[in-house]
Amino acid sequence: MALMDTHVATAEGPVEGQRGRRSRRGTISWRGIPYAAPPVGPLRLRAPQPVQPWTDTLACHDYGPSPIQDKMFTARGDGTFQPRSEDCLTLNVFAPDTVAAAGRPVMVFNYGGAYILGGSATPIYDGAFLARARDVIVVTVNYRVGPLGFLDLSDYSTPERPFDVNCGLRDMVAALEWVQRNIASFGGDPDRVTVFGESAGGAAVLTLLSTPSAQGLFSRAIAQSPAADLVVHRESSELIADEFVRQVVDPRRRVGPERTEPFHTPDQVARIIDGADPFELLGAGNRVLAFTRQAQLSDPMPFAPVVDGEYLPQSPVAAAIGGRTHRVPLIAGSNLDEGELFARFWSILPEPAQFLVGVHDPEVREELARLYPGTRDEVRLSADAVFWIPTSLFAEHHAKHSPTYVYRYDYSVRALKLSGIGATHATELLAIFGIYRHPIGVGLAALGSWGSTKRITATMQSLWTWFARTGVPSEQWPPYSIDDRRVLLIDDPARVVDDPDGARRAAWERVHLELRRE
């Protein structure tokens, strides 16, 4: 087969990629392609704007800077850290290095990180292995996180200095628009674009399915361990914005919900925000995380897509219940031991009691207490409430108009199983991106799981890419419906089960029914 040229003409200007070496042989990558103008200066906290076209060939040989976040989250895996910058709106394209007779399926990935961290330079998101193994185009996207991506200062907008809401979500839409304009030049098929993501990236997928401006930009969707209810409602976003500005003005101010008057005018807020260093804004955002917990807001995270009634009219679950999600096939699911990662390494899940606020029926509370009887069960309860149950609700209603496939990822390598971590949050990414043969994952595979990691990687990559190719992941994986609730348990081997953990699901259904009556 003829080799693909590393030079590609995009609508914005020519770019040059690099052929893969060693383990990435057989691929070409174009890394750090700008898909929108740098969101700096007057474009801070504004919707992404078109990039300035260029005429000289742009060497796209390395990832662009990570979004502004704490440095520890930008590790490259080799003892170095990815630079951080507001100028972060870039994406990366990974493709087989041969010319195909027809356009290849395209898979566009959004990373997780609770909408406060993450970047496409994270080694686990290397798309070369998946592109080569399954003959697809993989695109990984940088989007703004934390306050620079999801702070809502729209109440302080003026004609002279507007602030846009949902900047990070708009970044994802802008990246999908770039794909529609340009991916054919890289050998991709713009009519077969699958958007996929994990954790907050999975939640973003469900949010994109509920975002009017994203309609028509993708033809399939995969949501891995999404926190489907991870949004901020307007009543919370107003309090968060108020506290955020106060924290920028006075970094030593005690975090708390008390208010003093008078406060700042829109012109003053514009000068405060525009005059701040981006890392000052990051620090204020970190303090607002603590404020959100202390104030016990109904939305547990301060930075997430805002249900503003316009750009995002409803939360994803509400949109699904109302039948207003985009008509595209969907894969959605969660992991068997989802909560163990958070219990051991990153304690950000809300306390179990928070999920029962507003539930007054004693029978419902007693049933949940019976189903989650021990201390360790509190971890499972929180994880079920954040990941599994809202995802199941979304899938149940999306399935009424579009083919929907639900999974539970049960596989874990021997080392993680013995440690008790098991099939925890994000472990499926190792299989999807083929990382068990990468230096990051090879140690886990070598400790008694070499054969099974090879098989689970083949299983995951086959299901995900066949879905991207055809809209159906496997003839052996039936669509989800409320009649039988058939779920694929992805393990070595995989199997289909009707309504796994049905008693827990039914109990949470009663919780949500009662909350909707409130």
User: Which positions are annotated as active-site residues?
Assistant: 199, 338, 425
- Residue (of 213, 214, 212, 184) closest to 197 by Cα position: 214
Block residue for tokens 């020519």: 14
Evaluate whether 54 touches 9 at the Cβ level (below 8 Å).
no
Q: What angle do CA 439, 445, 451 make, to 5 degrees?
A: 130
- What are the CA-CA distances from residue 461 to residues 133, 141, 334, 435, 458 (Å)? 8, 20, 17, 12, 5
CB-side neighbour CA atoms (13 Å) of 367: 15
| Number of neighbouring beta carbons within 10 Å of residue 400 | 13
The 3-state DSSP class for residue 137 equals strand
Contacts of 315 (CB under 8 A, 6+ apart): 210, 229, 231, 233, 307
3-state SS, one letter per residue, for 330-394: EEEEEECCCCHHHHHCCCCCCCHHHHHCCCCCHHHHHHHHHHCCCHHHHHHHHHHHHHHHHHHHH
Phi/psi at 143 (5° precision)? -135, 155
Contacts of 291 (CB under 8 A, 6+ apart): 240, 243, 247, 255, 256, 257, 302
- Could you tell me the end-to-end alpha-carbon distance of the chain, in angstroms, rounded to an integer? 63
Whole-number Å distance between alpha carbons of 4 and 55:
21
Phi/psi at 196 (5° precision)? -140, 160
